[in-house]
Amino acid sequence: MSATTAEAEAPRRPGLLARLLRDPAAAGALIFTLLLLAAAALAPWLAPTDPLDNNLALSMQPPGSPGLPLGADAQGRDMVTRMLFGLRASLLMGFSATLAGGVVGVLLGFLAAFYQRWLDGPIMRLMDMMLSFPAILVGLAIAAIFGPGLSSVVLALAIATVPLMARIARGSALVTMRLDYIEAARAIGMTDARLIWRHLAPNCLSAIFVFTTLRFGQVILLGSALSFLGLGAQPPTAELGAMASEGRNFLFFAPHIAVIPCIGIFAIVLAFNLLGDALRDALDPRLRF
Amino acid sequence: MSAPLLEVEGLARHWAVKGGTVRAVDGVSFALGRGETLALVGESGCGKSTTARLALRLIEPTAGRVRIDGTDITGLSGGAMRRMRRQAQIIFQDPYASLNPRLTVGEAIAEPLIVHGIGDAASRAARVRELLGLVGLAAWQAGRFPHEFSGGQRQRIGIARALAVQPALIICDEPVSALDVSIQAQVVNLLKDLQARLGLAYLFIAHDLAVVKHMADRVAVMYLGRIMEVADKRSLFANPRHPYTRALLSAIPQPDPRRRGMVKPLGGDVPSPLNPPPGCRFHTRCPHAEAICREVEPPDVEVAPGHRSACHFAAALPPVEALAGEGLSPIAARRLALFAERKPTQSAPSTLT
């Protein structure tokens, strides 16, 4: 018993990966996520053609046609190429929005928890206000100001992510702040910045990490929705949501043009959700046996 | 006599809650000289730990003064306060919560040195090895993480961290009450040993009278945020002049059936600090309470040199033949003997425990 509790407190213990891989769904999600990331990173080298190379003779070729395993879209562009670049754009968008929103949100959450007396009220009420706007509405507003495009989507999604991250960070910081080692750090006489950076933040990271993984899936989904609505990536840029939107017009003649990007979105979101759940289980000592 | 190392005067901390004010600490004064150990004892919730944190300004006091080495720290600005923290450090009760799980032992002990800009990387590493040796751990253990150690070892790591900046005062907030009895002996003896070697002063918070008897030079008894009685250890245990101290001493388990029932245990619960009783705070449970106790707060009177008691009848209390021996039950006495027995093995650094 004591061995397991001791192990539970081990932050850099080996075996987090091993525990992740023990759960088949988690192992699948992890491997699939890594494959997606590799495919997105290597898109320019893996893709058989240029994503903008169109050949109207091949327009709407179904999957399995010679040389086109996933068929071609309305412009006769290779769907394999489009998917690889679409994946790249979507993941990049999700990554930058989650990162930007996460950094700002976590910082605000830590400040709210650390200077609870002065900052908790103002910061968290601001977060509540931000939470009351749906992400789509924020996206519309940003697109109206800066014009549609991937960077507008990233900005909108980052803004929508900030309050969620702030809540998670504040919650876990409030718990950690009660521990004696924070008081010991104060008694040593270190500056608040050092205390937050070296003692508070590292011990709140697992909750934040898990939530980030889950949020990443949601951000991709929201980003695709914004692109589908025409607020995000503009044609001819390959992006999964925008590709689904373009394919919508041909749903009855060439369903693969819309369905394949949708399957892609579905797979990314599912993989990140499974990974997030598995990480939460693997990082939570109470769920281990 | 030179100025005391730690001087606390009228210290108070009130918390505003729904329906009133909790007076966790309500006017506590004491002084602690260099190399001295003052034990602060009392029931759970009487404000001992709050007093400890107030003395280090980990909690801001509502009223009162704290002087460390003559400097009033209650008014110090951020930077001056941080520098002052070199003088006084703290050891915590729970050795599992008091070490950051993400720092190696070496990093944790070096942290105070880095913060105060002491030495370079090489000299800090040497100092960490020295400190580990001082608390009986091996130098190679610096690279290990806290979870790889037992409770007693972790407590010693906490002590090493507190010693890093060479403080004159260490506040021990129930440093052994979370440990097994045999490990308690090691840690208590280590603390005594360090005091002898380094001339440390301890403010030693405890509720275990056997440990207090072993550690303390003087004892202060707290009840509901006030100090009821202060005296040097010998006269407090032999001749307590406050009914609450007597009740505490008699509450030590008494295994001899012939002695049972000779002292009445305290009835009732500690009143809420939200609304402390008027007059003497202890009158609701005091066997000697009279009309005056319900109305007039007793003054803090010196009943003997260095022995102060806040009781109207401090001088009139009957003698204490009912209290077993020196106020220690055989069980407590056996534990004291165990502490003493363990002592010779203490100074040799052991890595087995």
In this prediction the ipTM stands at 0.81
φ, ψ dihedrals at A283, nearest 5°: -90, -15
Structural contact between residues A244 and A254, judged by C-beta atoms closer than 8 angstroms: no
B85 contacts A188? CB cut-off 8 A: yes
Nearest chain B residue (CA) to A8: B147
Sheet holding B226-232, edge to edge: B88-91, B169-173, B201-206, B37-41, B218-223, B226-232, B307-309, B301-304
Q: How confident is the model at residue A3 (pLDDT cuts 50, 70, 90)?
A: very low
- Spell out which residues of chain B touch residue A180, defining contact as CB-CB under 8 Å: 92-94, 97-98
- Spell out which residues of chain A touch residue B88, defining contact as CB-CB under 8 Å: 187
- Whether A196 is in a domain gets the answer yes
Q: What is the pLDDT of residues A134-163, one digit of tens each?
A: 888 999 999 899 998 889 999 999 999 999
A189 touches B at CB < 8 Å: yes
Between A and B, how many CB-CB pairs are < 8 A?
77
A186 contacts B101? CB cut-off 8 A: no
Sign of the alpha-carbon dihedral angle for A175, A176, A180, A182: negative
pLDDT of amino acid B21: 87
B148 contacts A181? CB cut-off 8 A: no
Q: Which member of A183, A191, A203 has the closest CB to residue B101?
A: A203
- Whether A125 is in a domain gets the answer yes
| Cα–Cα distance, B204 to B177 (Å, whole number) | 12
Helix (H) or strand (E) holding A35: helix A24-41
A9 touches B at CB < 8 Å: yes
The position carrying tokens 């609701």 is: B284
A172 touches B at CB < 8 Å: no
A284 touches B at CB < 8 Å: no
Nearest to A128 by CA among A94, A93, A95, A170: A170
A189 contacts B84? CB cut-off 8 A: yes
Q: Which of residues 203-242 of A touch B (CB under 8 A)?
A: 203
What Å distances lie between residue A274 and A16, A87, B185, CA to CA? 16, 19, 50
φ, ψ dihedrals at B91, nearest 5°: -120, 140
| pTM: predicted TM-score of the whole model, two decimal places | 0.80
Structural contact between residues B220 and B38, judged by C-beta atoms closer than 8 angstroms: yes
Structural contact between residues B211 and B199, judged by C-beta atoms closer than 8 angstroms: no
B86 contacts A181? CB cut-off 8 A: no
DSSP string across A87-149: HHHHHHHHHHHHHHHHHHHHHHHHHHHHTIIIIIHHHHHHHHHHHTS-HHHHHHHHHHHH-SS
- Whether A207 is in a domain gets the answer yes
The CATH number of whichever domain residue A175 belongs to comes to: 1.10.3720.10
A72 Cβ contact list (under 8 Å, min separation 6): A55, A58, A59, A60, A61, A65, A78, A79
Sign of the alpha-carbon dihedral angle for B308, B313, B319, B323: negative
- Whether A268 is in a domain gets the answer yes
- Spell out which residues of chain B touch residue A187, defining contact as CB-CB under 8 Å: 56, 58, 85, 88-90
A187 touches B at CB < 8 Å: yes
| Cα–Cα distance, A275 to A268 (Å, whole number) | 10
Helix (H) or strand (E) holding A37: helix A24-41
- Whether A211 is in a domain gets the answer yes
Q: What is the pLDDT of residues A82-124, one digit of tens each?
A: 999 999 999 999 999 999 999 999 999 999 999 999 999 999 9
| Cα–Cα distance, A189 to B55 (Å, whole number) | 14
A183 contacts B92? CB cut-off 8 A: yes
Q: Which two tokens stand for residue B148?
A: 């790889």
- Tell me what the mean pLDDT of segment A37-63 comes to: 86
| Cα–Cα distance, A47 to A52 (Å, whole number) | 12
Nearest to A106 by CA among A60, A192, A173, A175: A173
| Cα–Cα distance, B14 to B20 (Å, whole number) | 10
A187 contacts B86? CB cut-off 8 A: no
Q: Which of B102, B131, B154, B203 to mutate to test the interface with A (most CBs of A within 10 A)?
A: B102
Structural contact between residues A222 and A160, judged by C-beta atoms closer than 8 angstroms: yes
Report the gap between the CA of B10 and the closest CA in chain A (Å). Answer: 22
End-to-end CA distance of chain A: 10
Nearest to B51 by CA among B83, B23, B24: B24
Q: Which two tokens stand for residue A121?
A: 């009220």
- Whether A58 is in a domain gets the answer no
Report the gap between the CA of B82 and the closest CA in chain A (Å). Answer: 4
- Whether A64 is in a domain gets the answer no
Going residue by residue through chain B (353 aa), what tens digit of pLDDT does each one get?
567 899 999 999 998 888 888 888 989 999 999 999 999 998 888 889 999 999 999 999 999 999 999 899 998 998 999 999 999 999 999 998 999 988 999 999 999 999 999 989 999 999 999 999 999 999 999 999 898 899 999 999 999 999 999 999 999 999 998 888 888 989 999 999 999 999 999 999 998 888 898 899 999 999 999 999 999 999 998 888 999 998 888 777 666 666 555 556 677 778 888 888 888 999 888 888 888 888 888 988 888 888 999 999 888 887 765 444 445 566 767 777 777 776 554 444 444 44
- Whether A13 is in a domain gets the answer no
Helix (H) or strand (E) holding B220: strand B218-223
Specify the DSSP class assigned to residue A78: B
A7 contacts B112? CB cut-off 8 A: no
B204 touches A at CB < 8 Å: no
| Cα–Cα distance, A49 to A82 (Å, whole number) | 9
pLDDT of amino acid A43: 87
B58 contacts A188? CB cut-off 8 A: no
Share of chain A above pLDDT 90, in %: 42
Report the gap between the CA of B92 and the closest CA in chain A (Å). Answer: 7
A11 contacts B145? CB cut-off 8 A: yes
Report the gap between the CA of A198 and the closest CA in chain B (Å). Answer: 9
Helices A256-283, A24-41: crossing angle, 10 deg rounding: 130
pLDDT of amino acid A76: 85
Domain, as residue range, for A126: 32-38+78-282
Q: Which two tokens stand for residue A161?
A: 């992510």
- Spell out which residues of chain A touch residue B116, defining contact as CB-CB under 8 Å: 189
Q: What is the pLDDT of residues A251-263, one digit of tens each?
A: 898 899 999 999 9
Report the gap between the CA of A199 and the closest CA in chain B (Å). Answer: 7
* Structural domains counted in chain A: 1
